[in-house]
Amino acid sequence: MKAHDGLYIDGAWRPAEGQDVIEVVNPADEQVIGRVPAGTALDVDTAVRAARAALPAWAATPPAERAARLAALRDVLAARKDEIAETVTAELGAPPQFAQTVHAGVPIAVAGTYAELAATHSFEEKVGNSTVLHEPIGVVGAITPWNYPLHQIVAKVAPALAAGCTLVLKPAEDTPLTAQLFAEAVHEAGVPAGVFNLVTGLGTVAGQALAEHPGVDLVSFTGSTAVGRQIGAVAGAAVKRVALELGGKSANVILPSADLAKAVNVGVANVMSNSGQTCSAWTRMLVHSDQYDEAVELATAAAAKYGERIGPVVSAKHQARVRGYIEKGISEGARLVVGGPESPREKGWFVSPTVFADVTPEITIAQEEIFGPVLTILRYEDEEDALRIANGTVYGLAGAVWAGDEAEAVAFARRMDTGQVDINGGRFNPLAPFGGYKQSGVGRELGAHGLTEYLQTKSLQF
């Protein structure tokens, strides 16, 4: 993957206004693997103008033709799957097999779902003596994170294109090479010039300029709740639409009737996957006090197996943040059973898979999103206690419930204040809405619900 030294604006790669660049570093060996332009507010303005100019024609393009472009995009991404996986491994540090199946495979599937939805979605409906039209919201400013670099891009770009919107993408500065590869794929798929534009740059410069730009009708942001608050405030002041996918501190509730070994093993795998850099990870495992000691033993054995298999975290700064949380857990009295703050390797930004037992609900590591391979195990006395603990954070993004009887798990899941719950290890569904309650965000991504985020309604009365 060779880095482009330009920005993708109005259907072509063109130089940025300034000379500043962002160095892309491989977190496994700390080597610089590429440099991309650090776009400025001027570049963002050029890109937004291109998107604005391309909007009328793209919005008027029949849905079947938009669907055909999305199908072509899916096919290009599928043809370049190996290159995508290698790029994600190089700039994020994801293990190759995981990069293939998840980082490349999932977004290809999601692009396919939007190719189908664009063709089948009903963009108008009859309500009494009215016809309600579902029209594109306009120009979208998409700001994406580094943890699932291609998936997060596709989850915004594909529905926006399906809806008839045009957009400007500002990807995370840690993983811009995947975004450049995506721009190449968009170009190859024959998406008209100006419909999709890419500006690489710093969040504080290019991201802020995009969020504040008066020519942007909707800002879709995935990242931390702290930055989401700022973007929400900016968007609110300008009365523009906003979609926010923010943090999580999801509970994995293991009820006494569950298959304990399976629930614990799947729960540990969930937290360690992607080196814990997943907003929806089940970072709090809730176990009944009668089964608590056994669960801790099982989790200890499971986590120990990840020592050699786990990839690095994304950056030195992020490694320091995660290690700081581990030290805080120890200082606040949680019992460290596996892992710890010491780096397991001489080179690269690795963090040891870490498990804490005897965690009480109010301490920092049980309340704040760590975004690393750190599991906290909490005990509960009865179901009401479990529910109080599960719902006792500012977040509500995901979760899991395990029980011997599916109906028992579902009854508990219905009472959880969260946007997604996996029942007895239910599989990820790319058509199901993904998003959070409370401070985990505003709006939904994926499937038909993800498409409607990019539409606005007009009523015609007859």
Shared domain check, 397 and 380:
yes
In 59-176, beta strands by DSSP E: 124-127, 130-136, 139-143, 166-170
Residue 177 lies in a domain: yes
Cβ within 8 Å of residue 367, ≥6 positions away: 249, 361, 393, 394
Q: Domain tally for the chain?
A: 2
Assigned token pair, 403: 């029980």
- pLDDT at residue 47 tops 90: yes
Q: Please tell me the predicted confidence (pLDDT) of residue 74.
A: 98
Give the C-alpha separation, 78 to 313, whole Å: 26
CATH number, domain at 385? 3.40.309.10
Tens digit of pLDDT for each residue in 265-321? Answer: 999 999 999 999 999 999 999 999 999 999 999 999 999 999 889 999 999 999 999
Residue 1 lies in a domain: no
At 97, the pLDDT band (50, 70, 90 cuts) reads very high
Output the CA angle 312-316-322, nearest 5 degrees. Answer: 70
Shared domain check, 69 and 116:
yes
| Residues tagged active-site | 245, 279
Shared domain check, 352 and 205:
no
In degrees and rounded to multiples of 5, residue 330 shows phi and psi of: -65, -45
Q: Please tell me the predicted confidence (pLDDT) of residue 211.
A: 97
Q: Exposure pattern of 196-228 as b/e (b: 16+ CB <10 Å)?
A: bbbbbbbbebbbbbbbbbebbbbbbbbbbbebb
- pLDDT at residue 229 tops 90: yes
Residue 374 lies in a domain: yes
The H-assigned helical ranges of 241-291 are 260-272
Tens digit of pLDDT for each residue in 113-125? Answer: 999 999 999 999 9
Task: Indicate the helix (H) or strand (E) that contains 112.
Answer: helix 105-120
Residue 290: count of CB within 10 angstroms of its CB: 10
Instruction: Decide: 85 and 62 in contact? Cβ < 8 Å.
Output: no
Q: Which domain holds residue 347?
A: 251-430
Shared domain check, 178 and 31:
yes
Shared domain check, 335 and 256:
yes
Q: Please tell me the predicted confidence (pLDDT) of residue 117.
A: 98
Shared domain check, 157 and 109:
yes
Give the C-alpha separation, 282 to 268, whole Å: 8
Tens digit of pLDDT for each residue in 240-262? Answer: 999 999 999 999 999 999 999 99
Residue 72 lies in a domain: yes
Can you tell me the mean pLDDT for 330-345?
Answer: 96
Indicate yes or no: pTM above 0.85.
yes
Give the three-class secondary structure for 326: helix
DSSP conformation letters of 383-449: HHHHHHHHT-SS--S-EEEE-SSHHHHHHHHTTS-SS--EESSPPP-TTS-B--SGGGEES-BSHHH
Give the C-alpha separation, 386 to 357, whole Å: 16
- Compute CA distances 380 → 259, 273, 301, 359, 402, whole Å: 17, 26, 22, 11, 14
CATH number, domain at 206? 3.40.605.10
Query: For the chain, what percent of residues have pLDDT higher than 90?
Result: 98
Shared domain check, 227 and 285:
no
Shared domain check, 378 and 268:
yes
Shared domain check, 207 and 75:
yes
Shared domain check, 275 and 204:
no
Give the three-class secondary structure for 337: strand
Cβ within 8 Å of residue 436, ≥6 positions away: 245, 246, 248, 395, 396, 397, 398, 418, 419
Give the C-alpha separation, 319 to 431, whole Å: 33
Residue 275 lies in a domain: yes
Give the C-alpha separation, 11 to 126, whole Å: 38
Give the C-alpha separation, 271 to 282, whole Å: 6
Residue 2 lies in a domain: no
Q: Please tell me the predicted confidence (pLDDT) of residue 208.
A: 96
At 364, the pLDDT band (50, 70, 90 cuts) reads very high
Q: Please tell me the predicted confidence (pLDDT) of residue 308.
A: 84
Shared domain check, 173 and 111:
yes
Shared domain check, 227 and 304:
no
Residue 117 lies in a domain: yes
